[in-house]
Amino acid sequence: MRHLTRHRTGLLAAAIIIIIEITLGNLPFWTSLGAPSPTSMNAAHVELGSGLVQGGDGVLRVIDPTQAYIDAPVANEQVRYVRYDFGGGSPKKADLHGAGYSFAWNLRIRLDAADDAAWHTGKVIDVSHGVAATHVIRNRSYDGNVTRLRLWVQEAQNTQFPFGRVMVNVHPSFRISPVRVLVMAATAAILIALRPRSRLYAMPLDTTDRRQRAALALATVPFLISFGFTIWAGTQQGAQVFHRPFAYTYDMDQYARLGDALLHGRPWLDLPVPKELLTAENPYDVAFHERLLATGTNEVYWDHVYFNGHWYTYFGVVPALLLFVPFQAITSLWIEGGAWLPASVATIMFLIGFLVFGLLLVVRLFTRFFPSVSVGSTILAMITFMCGSNAWVLWMRPSFYEIPTASALMFTMMGLWFWLGARRGDESDGYRLSRWRIAAGSLCMALTLGCRMTFIFCALFFLPIFADEIRSGLILRPIGMLLPRRWRMGVWKEQTRGHRIPPRVFASWRNDLAAALPAFVVFADLLWYNLWRFGSLLDFGNDYQFTVVDLTRYREPLVVLPQMLQYYLIQPPRMTGSFPWLTVPYTPVHPWQYHERIIGGLFWMIPVCLLVFLMPAMRHTLRRHRAWGLACMSLALGVFELLFVSYKGGLDWRYVCDFSWLITLPGILMIPIMMEWVKTKLMLASPGIIRTARLVRASVITLVLWTLFMTVVSSFMTGRASPMITSNPNVFYTVQSWFVW
C-alpha cells in the first residue's frame, strides 16, 4: 500500500489516459451505435459531377473545381458517418502524367446532405490515404433523414486522386491507438516531472552521476531515430532541381555541386550559363531576368551567384568541406564520380550536433556559475534553450537553405562549450587553463564565418568567459594591462602595484597563441577563398545573387526597421477555429522589403525570454555568480543580431535562429536564480512569503511549459513555409484526427 501511495500521481495519470482513450478516443464508435446498416457504393453506383471524370483505373481527375463532386443516394434515413475508400488507384494507373497533372493522396472534402426540401452544407475536412482514421467522415451538415449525400472535392484543376467506393452509415470500429497513448503518457510524464513539488527541484545536478548522464543521453534517442528516417528518405530522393516554364530554376543541390567543384579544383559550379547573360550589360537587372525567362531560357538559377561568366554559391564553404567533399570522395571508390550527399542528411547531422552540444552547454553553464543548481532547474533550462533556439524550424525543413544556420549553431555551441571548460582546477588551488580547449573553442568559433557570417560576432563571448583570467594576466595580458589596477586579480595585481616589479607584458603568450592561431588560420583560408572566387578578400559574393531585386544597387529602407522589430518580437499568432488552432499572422511591410509570413513574435512563442527584463533587478545576484558579463554580452549580441537581420535580411522565421538563442540564454540564467530564491523563502515561517515563493516557482514552470506548448503547436501550423501538412502529412493527419470527432 505504501508503494501505491508513493506512485499515486502516476496511477491517476494512467487512469485518466485510459478513460480518455476509451471515451474521446473512440467517440465515433460510441456515437455510431444503433445507426442503420452500412451501404457500400462504388464508382458504378455513384453519380459524378460534371467537374470530375474517370482518369484511369480507380482514378478520378478534376476538370472543373466548381462541379467536382460525388453524389451518393440514401434511402431516406439518418446518416452519421461516411467512409471514403481510396481503392487501388495510384499515379501509375493515372491516364495523364507530367508537371501539370498532380496526383493527390490527401484530399479536402466537404460532405453535404439533402433532405426532401433542400441541400445542407457541411464542413471541409481532410482525408489522408495514409491515415485510416481520416477516412471516416462525420455528417455535420444535417441530423435528420437525408435522401442524398454529396462529397465535394476541394482540389485544383487537373488534380488526380484515387477513388474506390463510398460507404454510407459505416460503423467505426473500437480501437486503441498506441501512438496516441504514448503521446499522452509522454505529456503526463513531463507534467508530473516538472510540477512545482517535484523531487527534481531538490535533487542537485551532479555531472558524475551515471543515472543523470544516462538520462541526458536518453533525451537524444528520439532525434537519432528521426535522423535514421532522414537518411532513409535521402536515399529515395533524386536530384533536387525544380524548373517551371518561363520561371527561375531552383537547384537545391548547391552544396553538393560546391563539393563537386572543389574536388575538381574550381570555385564555380558546373552549371550552364545562357549566352545572353554572358553579354548582358547589367546581368543583375531583374527586368532583364524577366525578359530572359520569357524567351524560355531554363539556365537562370534562383539564389545563385553570377560573376564573370560562372555560377557560384554565396553560402558558406565550411559545410561543403566537412561533409559533402568527403562523402563524394569516399563514395567515388565504388561509384564513378561519387555520390552526392543529400542536403537533408547534412542539415540533420549538424542539428544533432547542435542538440548534443547545446544540452552539454547548459550543463556546463550551470555547473560553472550555479554549482548548487537542481536537476529540475536544469531540465527547465534545457527545454527552454532547445525551443528558444528555433532549431526545430530547421529540423522540419532540412533543405540546403538550413545548412548554414544549422552548422553555425553547432559550431557556436561547441566553441562555447570548449571555452567554458578551459578553466581547470578550483579557486583554492588556483585556476589553470587548458590550451587545447581554448584552441578548440577558437577553431569552432572561427568556422562560423564559413557557415553563416553573422555568427562570428559570438566570438566576443571570449571576453566574459575569460574575464577573470584576463584580470589575472593568464590570457590576453596586453589587454589586461589597460585595465585599472584595482580591477586586476591575484599575483599579477601585487606584482604591478607601485611598479616594484616590472610587469611581464607577454607572459601569457602561450595561451594567447592558443586562442588566436586557430582563428587566424581559418580566417586566412576563408579570405583566400573569397580572393579565389571574386578577386577580393572581403567579398563574400552576397550582392551578386539572383533574387527579387538587384542587390548591387538595392539599399534597404531604414523606415521598415520598426515594422520588422514589431513582427519579430511582439506580433501574436492568429487564432483559428480548427486544428492546430493557430496560424501565421498577417505581416505587411511598407515600403517593400523581403519578408515571409512568420509564426509569431518572440515573446509569444518563447515567453521565457520575458525573464530578461528581470536582469537589472537580478544584477547583484548575477555578479555574485560571476554570470553578469555573460548575460549582458548575450543580450547585447542578441539585440545586435536582431537589428542586423531585420535591416539586412528582412522577415523570415528561419532568420530567428540568428538571435533567438542569444536572447533566450540570459533568460535561462534567470531560472536557477529564481528557483534558488524560492528555495530560501520556502524555509521561512511566513505564510505570505511562502505563498509568494510558490507563485514565483509556478510562474517559471508555466513559462517553460508554455514555450514547449507553443513550439509543438507551431510545428503543425499550415500557413508557414514548408508546413508539416506537406512535408510529413501522415504525422499531421494522424494528430489532427485525434481532435476531429
One-letter amino acid for residue 124 of the chain: V
The per-residue pLDDT for 493 is 62
The per-residue pLDDT for 501 is 47
The pLDDT of 576-605, averaged and rounded, is: 87
pLDDT tens sequence across 6-30: 578 888 999 999 999 999 998 888 8
- End-to-end Cα separation, the chain, in angstroms: 39
Q: What is the rounded distance in angstroms from the CA atom of residue 219 to the CA atom of residue 635?
A: 28
Q: What is the rounded distance in angstroms from the CA atom of residue 72 to the CA atom of residue 42?
A: 10
The per-residue pLDDT for 495 is 57
From 92, 137, 93, select the one nearest 111 (Cα to Cα).
137
Residue with cell 579557486: 427
pLDDT over 60 (residue 593):
yes
pTM of this structure = 0.91
The per-residue pLDDT for 522 is 96
Asked if the bond preceding 573 is cis, omega within 30° of 0, the reply is no
> Helices 343-369 and 210-219 sit at what angle, rounded to 10 degrees?
150
The per-residue pLDDT for 588 is 87
| Angle at 299 (CA atoms; ends 294, 304), nearest 5 degrees | 110
Please state the three-class secondary structure of 201-259 as a single string: HHCECCCCCHHHHHHHHHHCHHHHHHHHHHHHHHHHCCCCEEECCCCCEEECCHHHHHH
The per-residue pLDDT for 494 is 59
Tell me the CA distances in angstroms from 575 to 430, 596, 664, 673, 738, one per residue in order.
Answer: 57, 19, 25, 34, 19
C-alpha cell at 382: 534545457
Strand 59-62 vs strand 69-78: parallel, antiparallel, or unpaired? unpaired
Q: Report the share of the chain in percent with pLDDT over 70.
A: 95
For residue 109, the SS3 value is: strand
For residue 242, the SS3 value is: strand
Residue with cell 547585447: 636
C-alpha cell at 709: 506548448
Count Cα neighbours of 133 within 13 Å in the Cβ-side half-sphere: 23
127-136, 456-465, 474-483, 495-504 — which one is most confidently predicted on average?
A: 456-465
The answer to whether the beta carbons of residues 456 and 442 sit under 8 Å apart is: no
Q: Average pLDDT over the chain, rounded to whole?
A: 88
The pLDDT of 33-52, averaged and rounded, is: 83
The per-residue pLDDT for 502 is 52
pLDDT over 60 (residue 497):
no
Q: Is domain 34-168 classified as CATH 2.60.120.260? A: yes
- Residue 162 pairs in a beta bridge with 59
Give the least confident one: 209-218, 242-251, 519-528, 557-566. 242-251
pLDDT over 60 (residue 498):
no
Where on the phi/psi map is residue 82: left (φ > 0), alpha (ψ -120 to 50), or beta?
beta
Give the least confident one: 171-180, 435-444, 661-670. 171-180
CA 84 to chain centre: 34
CA 355 to chain centre: 12
Give the DSSP letter of residue 128. Answer: E
Give the least confident one: 56-65, 95-104, 449-458, 568-577. 95-104
The pLDDT of 301-327, averaged and rounded, is: 93
Domain positions in the chain:
34-168, 241-337, 422-535
**Helix ranges restricted to H, 625-659:** 628-644
